[in-house]
Amino acid sequence: MSKLQPLKQFMVTTWIPIRIGSLDLSLTNSAAFMLLAVALILVGMFLGLRRPQIIPTTWQAIAEYPLAAIETMVKETNGPEGRPFVGLLASVFLFIFMGNLLGLFPFAFTFTSQLIVNFTLAFALLAVMTVYGLVQHGWAFLRLFMPKGIPWWIAPILVPVELISYLSRPISLSIRLFSNMVAGHSMLKIFAFFTGSMGIFGGLLPLGVNVGLMGFELFVAFLQAYVFTLLTCIYINDALHVH
Amino acid sequence: MLDKTFAAAIAALPLGLVGVAVGRIFNTTIEGISRNPSVRDKVFSIAMLGFAATEAIALILLLVVLLILFS
pLDDT (tens digit per residue) in A130-139: 999 999 888 8
Helix (H), strand (E) at residue A19: strand A19-20
Which chain B residues are Cβ-neighbours of A172 within 8 angstroms? 56
Which chain B residues are Cβ-neighbours of A227 within 8 angstroms? 48-49, 52-53
Q: What pLDDT score does A79 carry?
A: 85
Q: What pLDDT score does A143 carry?
A: 84
One-letter amino acid at A4 equals L
Give the Cα separation of A48 and A60 in Å (integer).
Answer: 4
Mean pLDDT within A170-192: 92
Give the Cα separation of A29 and A108 in Å (integer).
Answer: 9
**Span between the terminal Cα atoms of chain A, in Å:** 60
Q: What pLDDT score does B51 carry?
A: 92
Mean of per-residue pLDDT scores for chain A: 90
Q: What pLDDT score does A151 carry?
A: 85
Is the pLDDT confidence value at A16 over 80?
Answer: yes
Is the pLDDT confidence value at A62 over 80?
Answer: yes
Give the Cα separation of A15 and A7 in Å (integer).
Answer: 20
Nearest-CB residue to A179 (from B48, B53, B59):
B59
Q: What pLDDT score does A147 carry?
A: 82
Is the pLDDT confidence value at A141 over 90?
Answer: no
Q: Is B48 on the interface with A (CB under 8 A)?
A: yes
Nearest to A100 by CA among A108, A110, A114: A110
Record: contact A179-B48, CB cut-off 8 A: no
Q: Is B41 on the interface with A (CB under 8 A)?
A: no
CATH code for the domain defined by B4-70: 1.20.20.10
**Span between the terminal Cα atoms of chain B, in Å:** 18
Q: What pLDDT score does A236 carry?
A: 92
Query: What percent of chain A is modeled with pLDDT above 90?
Result: 58
Nearest-CB residue to B49 (from A172, A179, A230):
A230
Nearest-CA distance A176 → chain B (Å): 5
Higher per-residue pLDDT: A93 or A241: A93
pTM listed for this prediction: 0.90
Mean pLDDT within A140-160: 85
- Could you state, in order of their start, the residue ranges of all structural domains in chain A? 6-240
Nearest-CA distance B52 → chain A (Å): 7
Record: contact B63-A180, CB cut-off 8 A: no
Nearest-CA distance B34 → chain A (Å): 24
Q: What pLDDT score does A156 carry?
A: 87
Q: What pLDDT score does A218 carry?
A: 95
pLDDT bracket for residue A2 (50, 70, 90): confident
Q: What pLDDT score does A243 carry?
A: 72
Record: contact B49-A172, CB cut-off 8 A: no
Supply the DSSP string of chain B, one letter for each residue. --SHHHHHHHHTTTHHHHHHHHHHHHHHHHHHHHH-GGGHHHHHHHHHHHHHHHHHHHHHHHHHHHHHHH-
Record: contact A180-B59, CB cut-off 8 A: yes
Is the pLDDT confidence value at A1 over 80?
Answer: no
Least confident of A60-64, A113-117, A215-219: A60-64
Which chain B residues are Cβ-neighbours of A226 within 8 angstroms? 48, 52
CB pairs under 8 A between A and B: 33
Q: What pLDDT score does A226 carry?
A: 94
